[in-house]
Every structure is written in C-alpha cells, then in structure tokens.
Amino acid sequence: MKRKLIAAIGVAGIMVSIAACGGNDKSGDNAGGDAKELTVWLTVDAQNNWPELVKAADDAVTKKHPGIKIKHEYYGWPDKNTKLDAVLATDKAPDVVEMGNSEMISYMAKGAFAEVDASKFENSDQWLDALKESVTYNGKTYGVPYYAGGRVGTWRKDIAAEVGVKAAPKTWAELTAALDAIQKKKGDKFSAWYQPAPDWYGAMAFVYGAGGSIAKQEGETWKANLTSPESLKGLNEYKGILDKYMHGDKTKDEADRPVVFGQGNAATMFAAGWEGATSATPENDKVGGLADKVENFVMPGPSGKALPVFLGGSDLAIPVKSKAQGVAAEWIAAFTGAEGQKGLAAKGNLPNNKKDLAPLKADPATTVPATAAESSWFVPTAPGWGQVEKAQILKTMLIEIANGKKSVDAAAKDADAAIDKVINTK
C-alpha cells in the first residue's frame, strides 16, 4: 500500500471554536444518536477500491435509523487536511473523517476529536499495538483503527541461489551470512542490502528492536531517548548495515527505492510490502523476469526476533464539533467490524486486529506481511511530533551517521537536543 503520511501541522487556528463547543462525553453516549444526517469523509482509496464496504456500513446504519441521509466526500491525501482544518473552525465539520495514523497526534493533542468508547468496537481488545497507539492520547481513545500496511524483507532469490542459499533467512545469522556471501561475490558497486540511510522508518526498526525508542513519556511530558544505551545499540546496528551492504548514494531517501531495486544492482531491501511488486512492473524491471525472482520474508533482527515494523495505515475519528457523534460511532463500528475487516483483507490490506490477522498468517499468499505486522512500533504520541517530522531531525541524524560526518553518539545527542525543543509543543 503506497501512502504518504502527512504531518498535521496547521490546526492551531481551530482551537477557540473547538473549545467553545465543550463536551466531554464519549461518542455514542446518546450524543447525536437521533441525527437525521451523517457526513463521512474518506480518502479516494475507499471510493476506488472498496465502495461495497462503504455501502454495507451505510446499509447497517440506515436499517437502524430509517430516513437518515448519509453523505460521502472523498479526498486525496495531499488536500484532505487543508480542507479539514478549514471546516473544523466552523459548524460544518464532518461526522466521520479518515486520518493517516501518524496524522492523528496533532489533532488529538489540540482536542479536535471526540473521545470514543473502545469497548463498542468489535475486537478493540485485539487492535494491533501500533494502531492502538495511534488513536490513544494521554490514556484516552480518540479514534478507531481502520486498516494497516507494514514492511517486509524482499530479496532476489536468484542472486541468493548464486551463493548457495536456497531459502529465505529466518534468523539474523542466516541473513547476514547470505548478505556477506552476496557482497563478496558481487563487489563493492553492488548493494547486498539497498537501504537508503535517511529512511528513518527502517532505521527506527533497529532502535525499537534493541529496546530503545525515539522518545519516552515522563508524566505529562516527553523526553528524547535516542542517546539511551538501547537506542544507541540499535543505531550502531543500523550503521553496520549501511557500512557493509549499502553501496548506493547514502544521502538519497527511499522515495524511488522500487525503481532502484528494479535496476538490478541490489539483492535485498526492507520496505513496504508493495515495493517488491512495484520494482517488477514493466516500467521498472531492467533485470528481466524480475517478478519471478523476488521473494518476501519476515525480516529477522539482531535481537533474535523479527525486526519490529512501522505500521502505516488509516484511522477513523469523530470531530468534537460533530452533531451526530452517536450515529457516527455506529457507522464506524459497522465499517470496521469483522465483515469489514474481512473485506479489507481481501483487497490486500492488513486488518486492524490480531484476531483477524490470524487467518492471514495461515495463508501462504499473506503469511509474510501478516506475520511481520505482529511486531510493530509507532511514533511518540507527543503533541509536537508533527514538528519533529517537519524539521527532519531523524533524517538529518541518519545522513550524518551514514556519511561519517558525526559519530553515532554525537549525532544522537544533537538529535535528542533538537527533539526536546519541539516535542512537547502543541
């Protein structure tokens, strides 16, 4: 699933009118339960790929509320938040809005979304860990996970076979032994593992896998944590990968990784599940027959467990100014329930919970992404997280580490200082 996760920065101006509306009741606690209209904002992903699931949720609500009018509006990811920021300051707020999961934080911190009762949503006690974090702020729930997409290892099984490796690696020792052999055979102009240094989603997998984190919550505030022993261990492990196996431009980001992989000068990548298939499309495949030569696997980590993956995806939230919060919660419950999750999985998405993930693990076609998603991490749910992303603090640190401009310790120390300046700012 290709998704640009856009930080939500421009919501400061909506807060006076949001605060004026008050309301501490959870959505569905009789507030707006008798509404005659419901407005649902989704992205074009739903409009283009699973409109029948939207209709099924509509049907469930109209059956319970005869005569209710349900209006849908669909937006592309780049323009959705601009429109949302504008209407949240008026009385025209939608009743349900789809959010990228890393977009939620700024809006939750500013009080833009109503608290919801998680117990009213099917399998909420089984929500995937990273998705649960994305809808939680200060111990309260402000949204419902919709669906997810994660990262997997992808490699050229034909190149692995050249060094006598016939099966995808299941342990870190197996992986690094294969990469060492591939690197030795192919030479220093080839990347046994193509890992763009600024790809902080990949880098932080090592940090969290080592028991570290970007930041830790201490009471009501957040404190950067990249200089902890655990985080430094992960960053050093990441640097080891870059030094040994990455022989491309170490300042280049991951935006065109599938294109680069398709050119044939790399054997392995740790990337979104769709990237291997994209590298094998006719316009990107410079190898020839690449579709039959790539293989996905759960990426093992140095800790002895799978590398934890960042779970991208979407959440559904109810603006605090909605006049139909009760019905909005009912619509979300219908849309994200067991049948909805089954439909989303059939479209190639990962479900929002571990119960529905289990059958996908048993299916050879989906076992790799489903298994990888069980071990995940999420960005700090701090009020200033959007500013951390906007300032590209992690990317700067990783480039400095990769090109040797700074030591791991020095780069992490500077990154911590930069994070601490903004992470608690609403």
Query: What are the pLDDT digits (tens) for 53-99?
Result: 999 999 999 999 999 999 999 998 878 888 999 999 888 899 999 99
Inform me whether the pLDDT recorded for 19 exceeds 70: no
Q: What is the CATH number of the domain that holds 216?
A: 3.40.190.10
* Residue 91, pLDDT score: 85
Co-location of 368 and 258 in the same domain: no
Co-location of 156 and 278 in the same domain: yes
Q: Which domain holds residue 81?
A: 12-150+311-377
pLDDT digits (tens, 9 = 90+) for 123-159: 999 999 889 999 999 899 999 999 998 899 999 999 9
Cβ pair 316, 141 in contact under 8 A:
no
Range with the lowest mean pLDDT among 28-42, 251-265, 284-298? 28-42
Cβ pair 331, 65 in contact under 8 A:
no
Q: Is residue 201 part of a domain?
A: yes
Cβ pair 196, 272 in contact under 8 A:
no
* Residue 348, pLDDT score: 80
Inform me whether the pLDDT recorded for 423 exceeds 80: yes
* Residue 197, pLDDT score: 97
Co-location of 367 and 415 in the same domain: no
* Residue 31, pLDDT score: 57
Co-location of 39 and 187 in the same domain: no
pLDDT digits (tens, 9 = 90+) for 379-420: 998 999 989 988 999 999 999 999 999 999 999 999 999 999
Q: Is residue 7 part of a domain?
A: no
* 340, 357, 377 - which closes a domain: 377
Q: Is residue 4 part of a domain?
A: no
Co-location of 244 and 321 in the same domain: no
What mean pLDDT is reported for the chain? Answer: 90
Cβ pair 153, 298 in contact under 8 A:
yes
Co-location of 94 and 17 in the same domain: yes
Q: Is residue 72 part of a domain?
A: yes
Share of the chain above pLDDT 70, in %: 92
Joined tokens for residue 385: 């997280």
| Range 8-15 average pLDDT | 34
* Residue 32, pLDDT score: 56
Q: Is residue 5 part of a domain?
A: no
Inform me whether the pLDDT recorded for 425 exceeds 70: yes
Inform me whether the pLDDT recorded for 17 exceeds 60: no
Co-location of 75 and 171 in the same domain: no
Q: Is residue 80 part of a domain?
A: yes
Share of the chain above pLDDT 90, in %: 78
C-alpha span between 315 and 4 (Å, rounded): 14
Q: Is residue 2 part of a domain?
A: no
pLDDT-based confidence at 26, cuts 50/70/90? low
Inform me whether the pLDDT recorded for 30 exceeds 50: no
* Residue 233, pLDDT score: 98
Co-location of 202 and 319 in the same domain: no
379 or 5: which carries more pLDDT confidence? 379
pLDDT digits (tens, 9 = 90+) for 295-325: 999 999 999 999 999 988 899 999 999 999 9
Co-location of 190 and 71 in the same domain: no
Q: 166: buried, middle or exposed (CB in 10 Å: 19+, 13-18, 0-12)?
A: exposed
Co-location of 87 and 209 in the same domain: no
Co-location of 130 and 253 in the same domain: no
Q: Is residue 1 part of a domain?
A: no
Range with the lowest mean pLDDT among 209-213, 253-257, 399-403? 253-257
Range with the lowest mean pLDDT among 32-36, 135-139, 163-167, 407-411? 32-36
* Residue 33, pLDDT score: 64
| Range 234-253 average pLDDT | 96
Please state the three-class secondary structure of the chain as a single string: CCCCCCCCCCCHHHHHHHHHHCCCCCECCCCCCCCCEEEEEEEHHHHHHCHHHHHHHHHHHHHHCCCCEEEEEEECHHHHHHHHHHHCCCCCCCCEEEEECCCHHHHHHCCCECCECHHHCCCHHHECHHHHHHCEECCEECCEEEEEECEEEEEEHHHHHHCCCCCCCCCHHHHHHHHHHHHHHHCCCCECCCCCCCCHHHHHHHHHHCCCCCEEEECCEEEECCCCHHHHHHHHHHHHHHHHHCCCCCCCCCCCHHHHHHCCCECEEEEECCHHHHHCCCCCCCCCCHHHCEEEECCECCCCCECCEECEEEEEECECCCCCHHHHHHHHHHHHCHHHHHHHHHCCCECCEHHHHHHHHHCCCCHHHHHHCCCEECCCCCCCHHHHHHCCHHHHHHHHHHCCCCCHHHHHHHHHHHHHHHCCCC
- How many domains is the chain partitioned into structurally? 2
Co-location of 26 and 96 in the same domain: yes
